Structure 1
Amino acid sequence: MSNFAETYAALSPRFVADGVLELLFDAPNLNAVTAEMHADLGRVWRDIEYASDVRSVVIRGANGTFSAGGSFDIIERAIEDPATRTRLYRETRDIVVSMIECSKPIVSGIRGTAVGAGLVVGLLSDISVVSRTARLVDGHTRLGIAAGDHSVISWPLLCGMAKAKYLLLMCDPVTGEEAERIGLVSLSIEDEEVDARALEIATRLGQGAQDAIRFTKQSLNYWYRANSAAFDFSTMAEMFGLGGPDIREGLASLREKRPPRFTPDSSGGQSG
């Protein structure tokens, strides 16, 4: 058996069925993604690709919620330290690219809150099973940085450009039920059924014709690969924003649970 438990302890990996590896968000503050989790998510998919005992993956959150996104500690370090921003760019790129390149099917079970870095993994999964009452929000523009990582490469394909622009620019939350209606997720069901259904789907995929399933996934993912330039630009723009003036106010407003008060001319002429 592959030694995922020791190598990726922050993701609590374990085999939950024959050939089905579970990854779990389990951390304080609604399973906020820690620095260790973020690094692990950038590396684990390549090991999964080459692990002969893994045929499918299911990822979910502990304690009835998925993930509230990157921890405030990560954001604070990135604001102050250019080297941290460089590392985050590399890890973010690794998460997105390696999930797209991983030929094995990935299923997410999303309950409660799914934001930011957690939402990346949830929506880049090949099949997303979401509670009707789940709350999904990209979160970037509310924080004062460009919507980067997965959103530009995937949201226009999933729910169309008009909806993607509305949700990403306005940073409005969307329920699991509405997310299924617009095509942002695969399936929306009752909250108490999510974990079991996600595991059922991952198990069925793990028992299916592996070459057929994996080649079909890889073929479909060329739609993502075709948008790799937009993904690279958006993620660099996100990292650029972590060194800008708006991120400090965005983070402060979240800590203080109030609306942000961004300075209108803080773009430095970007609108021109």
Structure 2
Amino acid sequence: MNQIEADQRYEQYTTVDIDRPADGVLRIMLNRPEQLNTLDAKGHDEIARIWRDIDGDDSVRAVLLCAAGKSFSAGGDFGLVEEMIDSHEARVRVWREARDLVYNIINCSKPIVSAIQGAAVGAGLVAALLADIPVAARSARIVDGHTRLGVAAGDHAAILWPLLCGMAKAKYHLMLCEPMSGEEAERHGLVALAVEDDALQDKAMSLAMRLAAGAPSAMQWTKYALNNWLRQAGPIFDTSLALEMLGFGGADVREGLASFRERRTPDFGRKIS
């Protein structure tokens, strides 16, 4: 697929901004800063699908994933969560999208750099941490919020966090929803680099340009081989994601969502009908 054909395909994506800031580099920007770059139903679908088109775009040699505003992404919006609670069909749809998001990034042949600032939660965090070179601002606040919402830590967490920062740290942060700063994330191996906040975008762009200038086959085949660590953990991921979706049909998530809306600590002994 040449650049003209690819650009025509990218026009279908309306929840992200897409441009080509440097030779061989495609930039994807989450751009709902007034909503902290939360993902609604359409955004969740698009962030899962776009990697297939990037994989087939012969003009792209590296990708930069970033976000506008102070936060990278505050996760799925309340409307999407509520739809999943109320609808089996919605849970099945989101299960497919969440599955595709992880596997499409793992299988995308193009190397990906992410630039993480502010709050990073949910599907946005999935994409950011699955990037080949995740770069975080030192003050970034990375948190997997699943158990705080009342569902299992599905998405990427069960396969990626133990591999990157060890099982003990993974359980501590995933089970307690304990936030991790960008500086801590670098120290624990969850991201490749942590940089000063005002240097984040420039550093991430320079890395994407370096990847784009490298030998394409060497970059792509190295990524493919390394990502077999994640592919072999596929059954772990599939289980975690299925259990997360199962949780959206239970009472705990209703209390979790209510507590977010009411800005209070959840009481999981209280069942919301």
State how far apart, in whole Å, the 2-side matches of 1:111 and 1:178 are.
14
Task: Please state whether the residue corresponding to 1:14 is helix, strand or coil.
Answer: strand
Identify the residue that residue 96 of structure 2 maps to in structure 1: 90
Identify the residue that residue 20 of structure 1 maps to in structure 2: 25
**1:39 aligned partner, one-letter code:** D
Task: Please state whether the residue corresponding to 1:31 is helix, strand or coil.
Answer: coil
Cα contact 2:36–2:70 (8 A) shared by 1: no
Identify the residue that residue 270 of structure 1 maps to in structure 2: none
- Runs in 1 of length 4+ with deviation above 3 angstroms? none
State how far apart, in whole Å, the 2-side matches of 1:13 and 1:84 are.
27
1:42-92, CA deviations, whole angstroms, 9 ceiling, x for partnerless residues?
A: 211111111011111101110132000011110000000000000000000
TM-score when normalising by structure 1: 0.95
Q: Which runs of 5+ in 2 are unaligned?
A: none
**1:137 aligned partner, one-letter code:** V
How many aligned residue pairs are there?
265
**2:262 aligned partner, one-letter code:** E
**1:64 aligned partner, one-letter code:** K
1:24-46, CA deviations, whole angstroms, 9 ceiling, x for partnerless residues?
A: 11123211012111111121111
Matched, 1:61 2:67: yes
RMSD of aligned Cα (Å): 1.1
Cα contact 1:5–1:12 (8 A) shared by 2: no
Summarize the alignment of residues 221-260 of structure 1 with structure 2, pairs less than 5 Å apart.
221-260=227-266
Q: Shift of the alpha carbon at 1:118?
A: 1.0
Identify the residue that residue 12 of structure 2 maps to in structure 1: 7
Q: Which moved more, 1:144-153 or 1:14-23?
A: 14-23
Residue from 258, 267, 270 that aligns with 1:261: 267
Residue from 178, 184, 196 that aligns with 1:178: 184
Cα contact 1:5–1:13 (8 A) shared by 2: yes
Cα contact 2:113–2:208 (8 A) shared by 1: yes
TM-score when normalising by structure 2: 0.95
State how far apart, in whole Å, the 2-side matches of 1:147 and 1:185 are.
19
Cα contact 1:21–1:58 (8 A) shared by 2: yes
